[in-house]
Structure 1
Amino acid sequence: MSQRDELLTEIAPTGVIRAAVNMSNAALVQLDPVTGSLTGPSAQIATELAADLDCGLSLVQYGSAADILAAAEDNEWDVAFIASDPSRADRFSFSPPYTTVTASFLVSDSSPLRSVEHVDVEGVRIAAARTAAYTKQLERQVRNAIVLHAENPASALDMLVSSRCDAAAGLTESLSRFCEENPGFRVVEGTFSKVPQAIAVHRRCVHTSTFLSDFIQQHCRAGKPSN
């Protein structure tokens, strides 16, 4: 079997590359309401990857990174666009980051919390998605506030809306979009986390891992826009 055939056996075992994308991460992928197509850095790079390998592409949509991880063993996807987090390294190999997103806090307009530094105080309750990479970073940083686990980013926002917490953690761009659609809320100043975004594959896919490392490095060297 040629090197290319070995690669395609790993990255496109069904004949097309099934690329998992996280629809809750608005900084990386969005659904165009007019055309119905997916846009954003994740969709763009997946398209370039398929073109580079002369393969078909299927963008598999998931509601959260947790959903992508849960589907990992069910053979639903071949590559996944998720955060490169050390806690996931036992299951997946990651490409170099193709971009970095930031995380901050959403609060109500009436909240006295003005910046990221103000949030970590005794008595403040922060809702955060249980399996999000930024939540793991948040838990390592917090000294005084209480982190309440939500099932996903949307659930964390619901907790804030229903006054079950004082702040909701999330990706800055997603929180900003929420504010645009829901008056009465604002994003505090600053960020508490920078989360590198990469392409993940199962650790058994050694040929794909090597290929993706080279592919992303070439992508970044070419200076192609990531957003």
Structure 2
Amino acid sequence: MPQRDELLTEIAPTGVIRAAVNMSNAALVQLDPVTGTLTGSSAKIAVALAAELDCGLSLVRYGSAADILAAAEGDEWDVAFIASDPSRADRFSFSPPYTRVTASFLVPDSSPLDSLEHVDVEGVRIAAARNAAYTKQLERQVKNAIVLHTENPASALGMLVSSECDAAAGLTESLSRFCEENPGFRVVEGPFSEVPQAIAVHRSCVRASTFLSNFIEQHCSAGNDVNPEFG
């Protein structure tokens, strides 16, 4: 591989690729309770990336995308599996999306909110994680509802459970799992956004950015993309 050594100084400066994964994004990464290993499309692509570069891999677990972003300047990770969003483009370069996930609203079963149009009305309070990419999209979309920022997705769900808001925004996959474990809630039909998932590196990592763009394009064109919404 041409200039492999130069590339590794950006993508694996410690000799191992430290790949940040968002453990709250159940659509993309899960912990196997039996083996203790990480599974899901983010983990699979990270493994493929390490194999491509013939390099070691360390999957660094974070509780939310906000935690990954907060650790960006702390030399804790080299690449991050997070959503690409314009609000993050000043700090990171993103590969093309390797998949997309949807975001929806969660409401109590008794709620009169039964469509996306009903959610965006005056007086409706929507709890959403402050630094989540879907929250950035939500803020650009809503015209009448009030967006209440929380520290993480779990806090948004907590506000809904305690009746501090009328709806909670979150990834559809995660909200569906919450409903299975917590009767009395439902997901409003239809997602309000589709969030592209990509591999991020610091903007200063020019070689790594170019390499990751080519890597993802080749990976997806080979039929390896996994849409987590459909298995």
Q: TM-score scaled to structure 1, two decimals?
A: 0.98
Pairwise CA distance, 1:144: 1.1
Structure 1 SS opposite 2:73: helix
What 5-or-longer segments of structure 1 have no aligned partner? none
Residue 10 of structure 2 corresponds to which residue in structure 1?
10
After superposition, what is the alpha-carbon deviation per residue over 1:7-47, rounded to whole angstroms, capped at 9, x for unaligned?
01111111110000000101110111111110101000000
Matching of residues 75-224 of structure 1 within 5 Å: 75-224=75-224
After superposition, what is the alpha-carbon deviation per residue over 1:98-130, rounded to whole angstroms, capped at 9, x for unaligned?
001100000011111112221111111000000
CA distance in 2, matches of 1:8, 1:187: 43
Does structure 1 conserve the Cα–Cα contact (< 8 Å) formed by 2:21 and 2:80?
A: yes
Structure 1 SS opposite 2:158: helix
Amino acid at match of 2:39: T
CA distance in 1, matches of 2:13, 2:199: 17
Structure 1 SS opposite 2:4: helix
Residue 44 of structure 1 corresponds to which residue in structure 2?
44
Amino acid at match of 2:159: M
Does structure 1 conserve the Cα–Cα contact (< 8 Å) formed by 2:129 and 2:135?
A: yes
CA RMSD in angstroms comes to 0.8
Structure 2 SS opposite 1:104: strand
What 5-or-longer segments of structure 2 have no aligned partner? none
Q: Report how many aligned residue pairs link the two structures.
A: 226
Runs of 4 or more above 4 Å deviation? none
Pairwise CA distance, 1:225: 3.8
Percent of residue pairs identical: 86
Pairwise CA distance, 1:153: 0.4
Tell me if 1:33 matches 2:33: yes
Amino acid at match of 1:208: A
CA distance in 1, matches of 2:173, 2:187: 10
CA distance in 1, matches of 2:132, 2:126: 14
CA distance in 1, matches of 2:82, 2:122: 32
Pairwise CA distance, 1:180: 0.8
